[in-house]
Amino acid sequence: MLKSIRKFENLHIACWLLKDTCWVLDMRVLGIIMIFPTLFLAFFITFKFRKIVSEFYHNLAVCFWIMANTIWMIGEFYYDDTLRPFAIIFFISGLLVLMIYYGFIYRKLSAFQDSREQES
């Protein structure tokens, strides 16, 4: 499964870099177009990893990051950078996802694995 998803991850990185390059070069139309494959691949990868807890949470955080990044880009392109506060909400959401994972889920998984190793 990991090998098949790896191809999508690599394509996702290429789309993301192209989108951000368009942003930096002020190529508005192509930048806006690149939002769709970038977000699609991010959500697709997250869905595919839904059964692997650590991968799911990290990829969900990436989805929030890309949404924040997209809102920020659109704000700079068309709204005099006034959308940045909305982008911050998505950046914080991504951080919260990781805080939940590392604060609760990872600790429980680690404790469970430690208890299984001690039983062996």
Give the pLDDT of residue 25: 98
Q: Where do the domains of the chain lie?
A: 2-119
CA distance 6 to 81: 35
The whole-angstrom separation of Cα 96 and Cα 98 is 5
pLDDT of residue 49: 94
The whole-number pLDDT of residue 117 equals 59
Residues 33, 45, 5, CA angle at the centre, nearest 5°? Answer: 110
Neighbour count for residue 107 (Cβ, 10 Å): 11
Is 64 buried (19+), middle (13-18) or exposed (0-12) by CB count in 10 A? buried
pLDDT at 106: 83
Paired tokens of 80: 């005099």
Task: Work out the average pLDDT over 60-64.
Answer: 98
